[in-house]
A and B are shown apart, each in its own frame.
Chain A
Amino acid sequence: MSRTVDLVVIGGSAGAIEVLHRVLGELPGNFSPATAIVIHVPADGPHLLTEIFTTQGVTVKLAEDKEPIVGGTIYFATPDYHLLVEKGRTFALSLDERVHFSRPAIDVLFESAAEAYGDRVLGVILSGANQDGAAGLRAIAAAGGITAVQALETAEMIAMPAAALEAAPQSIEVDADSLTDLLRTHGELPEKADGR
């Protein structure tokens, strides 16, 4: 019996949106962990992520400062702010300097998630163009969490998943389909035993 996680964190940049779209679209209604996502987008560009990813029956929103993290909800990082997770299971924002030229940075989310949720986190690095996320994925692995990386042959840009795989070599390599399965495995509430 595989264990359920409380938080899924996903990071990516160039080439990640399509994969993410497929995966989030197929999450079951009884998916219990919260999902927090950092995708590098231009700070001042129009912010359409929450609209792109609106899926039926699931709350998709930008994470707000001090907001309690609610299972089953999909949160995106607000452009131009770092997104962090606090131990009291709330979100925090910061305007601290960029990490790997990025704000929000994947490392900042992942490292704080590892500290706050320990082994109850599943971290995923998708296609992307720089090294952001590698240190964060290593932190999740070190805290006993589950780590996954988009298989390089399926990634539009390999720099990010390659760096992540090097930093956390135990990571499971996934494509869109197997990532969906992995998330179901660790996030789907067991069917109620109703006698059928």
Chain B
Amino acid sequence: MDAEIDLEVRLLLEAIYDRYHYDFRSYAKASLKRRLRQACDSLGVASLSGLQERVLHEPECFAALLQYLTVQVSDMFRDPEFFRAIRTQVLPVLATYPSIKVWVAGCSTGEEAYSLAILLQEEGLLDRSIIYATDINAQALRAAGNGVYSLQRLRGFTENHRRSGATTSFSDYYHASPGASGESAIMDPALRRKITFSDHSLATDNVFSEVHLVTCRNVLIYFDQELQNRALRLFGDALISRGFLGLGSKESLRFSEAAERFTEFALHERIYRRKGLT
């Protein structure tokens, strides 16, 4: 029975790749299987083969499945100590460059990108910075570009921001707007203008720019070792010599072949530094 399910998973992922060019074939299998089971339950199909049939014939069914496979909920300034370290240890180094490029890989609905924009603004660096924020989920990218978040979540964002060593008030960066789905906050267009949200796959696309800082947090845990290595290779290729890489608080380079290209910079905050080119 188990072997059949593995076969169904493999065939479904091949079908998705072939038909829609989304590549989930190298995602970590255990959590992917749980998500696929959930999708089957809520889409009302009895088996993964049944799901495959619907996905192939109904693009809207694939769109629904994609949300199960990709959407990550994040918070602004999630893990405030990470942002504190970026603020106090990384930005002073980046400030010595005439312009600063940041890549937020796997940006989902934009929380991390806006957090970094606020951080750069507070440190007086936003004017000469560009943030590239990428994801494979078009729906999430649209939400990120709109920059609208429910007021409910703002309290947590505000507290996280404060704990990151904020020098300004979080309320400076949004204004309340009566949205269709209740009270919400829209992020300051001045932040939005410095962020380019675009479609990019760590599984199939390549480096698109040289950058000074990459953050990719709580994305690599969903990849298998091989895809994780690919993503880290891209980050290493994109980063300038001695550029910075920030990972999620439970992610590390310890079990990856990419470790040799980086040095540990702030170990507890999972910030690494690209080795200098010799």
- Hey, which bits of chain A sit against chain B, CB under 8 A? 64-68, 78, 81-82, 84-87, 90, 92-96, 108, 111-112, 115-116, 118, 143
Contact indicator B250/A94 (Cβ below 8 Å): no
Known: A66-B228, A115-B2. A92 touches B31 (CB 8 A): yes
Contact indicator B2/A94 (Cβ below 8 Å): no
Pick the contact of A86 from B2, B28, B250, B256 — CB < 8 Å?
B28
Instruction: Determine the distance from Cα of A94 to Cα of B220 in the docked complex, in whole angstroms.
Output: 10
Other A-B contacts than A78-B250, A94-B31, A94-B222, 20 sampled, CB-CB below 8 A, are: A65-B220, A65-B250, A65-B252, A66-B225, A66-B228, A66-B256, A84-B30, A86-B28, A86-B30, A87-B29, A87-B30, A92-B28, A92-B31, A95-B218, A96-B34, A112-B34, A115-B33, A116-B30, A118-B2, A143-B2
Instruction: Determine the distance from Cα of A81 to Cα of B224 in the docked complex, in whole angstroms.
Output: 17
Smallest distance from the beta carbon of A76 to chain B beta carbons, Å? 13
B33 CB contacts on chain A under 8 angstroms: 115
A66 CB contacts on chain B under 8 angstroms: 225, 228, 254-256
Instruction: Determine the distance from Cα of A116 to Cα of B2 in the docked complex, in whole angstroms.
Output: 10
| B residues 66-91 in Cβ contact with A at 8 Å | 72-73
Interface residues as binary, B1-34 with A (CB distance below 8 Å gives 1, 0 otherwise): 0100000000000000000000000001111011
Pick the contact of B30 from A78, A81, A85, A118 — CB < 8 Å?
A85
Contacts between the two chains (Cβ within 8 Å), count: 62
Smallest distance from the beta carbon of B224 to chain A beta carbons, Å? 8
Give the interface SS of chain A, mostly helix, strand, loop or mixed.
mixed
Interface residues as binary, B243-274 with A (CB distance below 8 Å gives 1, 0 otherwise): 00000001110111000000000000000000
Instruction: Determine the distance from Cα of A5 to Cα of B54 in the docked complex, in whole angstroms.
Output: 40
B254 CB contacts on chain A under 8 angstroms: 64, 66-67
> What is the number of residues of chain B that contact chain A, defined by CB distance less than 8 Å?
23
For this complex, 22 residue pairs linking A to B, each with C-beta atoms less than 8 Å apart, are A64-B252, A64-B255, A65-B221, A65-B250, A66-B228, A67-B254, A68-B255, A78-B250, A84-B30, A84-B31, A86-B224, A87-B29, A92-B30, A94-B31, A94-B221, A95-B73, A95-B218, A96-B35, A112-B34, A115-B2, A115-B30, A118-B2
Pick the contact of A95 from B28, B30, B221, B255 — CB < 8 Å?
B221
Instruction: Determine the distance from Cα of A68 to Cα of B225 in the docked complex, in whole angstroms.
Output: 11
Instruction: Determine the distance from Cα of A96 to Cα of B72 in the docked complex, in whole angstroms.
Output: 8
Contact indicator B255/A67 (Cβ below 8 Å): yes
Instruction: Determine the distance from Cα of A81 to Cα of B221 in the docked complex, in whole angstroms.
Output: 10
Contact indicator B30/A112 (Cβ below 8 Å): yes
Smallest distance from the beta carbon of A34 to chain B beta carbons, Å? 16
| B residues 33-60 in Cβ contact with A at 8 Å | 33-35
Look across to chain B and name the residue whose beta carbon is closest to the beta carbon of A107.
B34
Smallest distance from the beta carbon of B100 to chain A beta carbons, Å? 28
Contact indicator A81/B28 (Cβ below 8 Å): no
B28 CB contacts on chain A under 8 angstroms: 84, 86, 92, 94
Instruction: Determine the distance from Cα of A90 to Cα of B33 in the docked complex, in whole angstroms.
Output: 16
Known: A66-B228, A66-B255, A66-B256. A96 touches B31 (CB 8 A): yes
A115 CB contacts on chain B under 8 angstroms: 2, 30, 33
